[in-house]
């Protein structure tokens, strides 16, 4: 049914229980109500396609407010695309990217950087998912050697895939060393808002102000329906990005609906409220499970992820009640018990009640 040209009813059927939450990924969460309202606000009538609309024009100023006067944002559909488009614009075909071996671009993007971006990844083993200037020195080898892929970009994630957060000082040290070597710095910021909230600093304090050249800025994990953005902080670092975005099939035609979502997120403090909530719920979860028998929180809880080791059979039973993912196998416990490391993620819509119910379910499965 329509009224005044607008849809006011639908034949779609709700096929899930919105009260059920999971701890598998912050991508499982829905869309923040303020973002849905913004999408509706941008609907109706016609606007110029492919980013020449009034919402995209306003977005340019908004990103400069958060990242500095030179910042230029290029919205894309998803995070893998943001990383591939960003890194491809920073590298010539013979150049390579130094990154932690746990980096999302290495482990969870289906080979897209290699297959679609044509990029060589030089992966660095780390204990906590974080690179150091010393690690960059060890892997920035072969400069000028025609037989080796030439290191060109250092790519880090903040927050990292292991839930750790780079401080401004750590980031400045990485950027300084990379630039001394003639390298550029890219940040996979799928959870950049969580990192900034954890550190209680503005977004530019862990990007522009420390010398980062290009950022993949995440929106989906923090409340958007879809959309990420490549944010260029150093115009000399990214070549042909407007053309690459189109070539790599990442130029949304109805760009206004991506732009207005970012406006809802960044014009006020929604990004910070959402990130603080997710981080706080992860800390609460860690506190709730830390003293349970046969459960060990094994990594620092700095953003919105909790990593714990527990018996595999307990994890399997708990997963029938709440979805979450195994992270890695672990050596058997002292009693020969089969152990597994799991990852529990909290989202912007995770509540204290959700956390408490999950922790109680874990205690039940442990027989506690």
User: Exposed/middle/buried for 155, CB within 10 Å: 0-12, 13-18, 19+?
Assistant: buried
Residue 162 has which token pair? 């292991």
The whole-angstrom separation of Cα 244 and Cα 111 is: 18
The whole-angstrom separation of Cα 108 and Cα 129 is: 14
Question: Contact at 8 Å (CB) between 157 and 104?
Answer: yes
Taking each helix axis as running N to C, give the angle between helix 312-319 and helix 352-365, from 0 to 180 degrees, rounded to the nearest 10: 130
Please name the helix (run of DSSP H) or strand (run of DSSP E) that holds residue 357, with its range, or none. Answer: helix 352-365
The whole-angstrom separation of Cα 56 and Cα 363 is: 49
3-state secondary structure of 239: coil
pLDDT in tens, the chain (368 residues): 344 445 557 899 999 999 999 999 999 999 999 999 999 999 999 999 999 999 999 999 999 999 999 999 999 999 999 999 999 999 999 999 999 999 999 999 999 999 999 999 999 999 999 999 999 999 998 899 999 999 999 999 999 999 999 999 999 999 999 999 999 999 999 999 999 999 999 999 999 999 999 999 999 999 999 999 999 999 999 999 999 999 999 999 999 999 999 999 999 999 999 999 999 999 999 999 999 999 999 999 999 999 999 999 999 999 999 999 999 888 766 667 899 999 999 999 999 999 999 999 999 999 97
Cβ atoms within 10 Å, residue 203: 26
């Amino acid at each position: 049914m329509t009224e005044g040209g607008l849809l006011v009813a639908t034949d779609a059927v709700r096929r899930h229980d919105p009260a059920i939450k999971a701890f598998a990924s912050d991508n499982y969460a829905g869309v923040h109500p303020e973002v849905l309202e913004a999408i509706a606000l941008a609907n109706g009538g016609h606007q110029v396609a492919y980013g020449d609309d009034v919402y995209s024009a306003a977005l340019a100023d908004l990103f400069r407010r958060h990242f500095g006067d030179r910042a230029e944002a290029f919205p894309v559909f998803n995070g893998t695309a943001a990383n591939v488009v960003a890194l491809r614009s920073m590298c010539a075909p013979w150049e390579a990217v130094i990154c932690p071996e746990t980096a999302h671009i290495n482990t969870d993007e289906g080979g897209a950087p290699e297959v679609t971006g044509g990029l060589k990844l030089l992966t660095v083993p780390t204990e906590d998912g974080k690179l150091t200037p010393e690690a960059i020195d060890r892997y920035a080898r072969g400069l000028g050697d025609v037989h080796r892929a030439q290191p060109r970009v250092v790519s880090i994630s903040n927050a990292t895939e292991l839930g750790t957060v780079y401080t401004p000082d750590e980031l400045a040290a990485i950027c300084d060393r990379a630039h001394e070597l003639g390298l550029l710095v890219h940040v996979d910021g799928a959870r950049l808002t969580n990192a900034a909230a954890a550190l209680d600093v503005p977004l530019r304090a862990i990007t522009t102000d420390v010398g980062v050249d290009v950022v993949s800025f995440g929106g989906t994990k923090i409340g958007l329906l879809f959309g990420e953005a490549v944010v260029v902080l150093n115009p000399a670092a990214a070549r042909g990005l407007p053309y690459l975005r189109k070539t790599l099939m990442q130029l949304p035609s109805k760009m206004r609906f991506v732009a207005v979502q970012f406006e809802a997120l960044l014009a006020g403090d929604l990004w910070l409220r959402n990130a603080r909530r997710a981080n706080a719920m992860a800390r609460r979860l860690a506190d709730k499970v830390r003293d349970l028998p046969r459960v060990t929180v094994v990594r620092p809880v700095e953003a919105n992820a909790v990593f714990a080791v527990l018996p595999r059979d307990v994890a399997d039973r708990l997963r029938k009640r709440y979805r979450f993912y195994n992270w890695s196998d672990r050596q058997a416990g002292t009693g020969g018990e089969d152990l597994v490391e799991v990852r529990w993620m909290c989202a912007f819509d995770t509540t204290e009640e959700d956390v408490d119910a999950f922790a109680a379910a874990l205690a039940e499965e442990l027989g506690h």
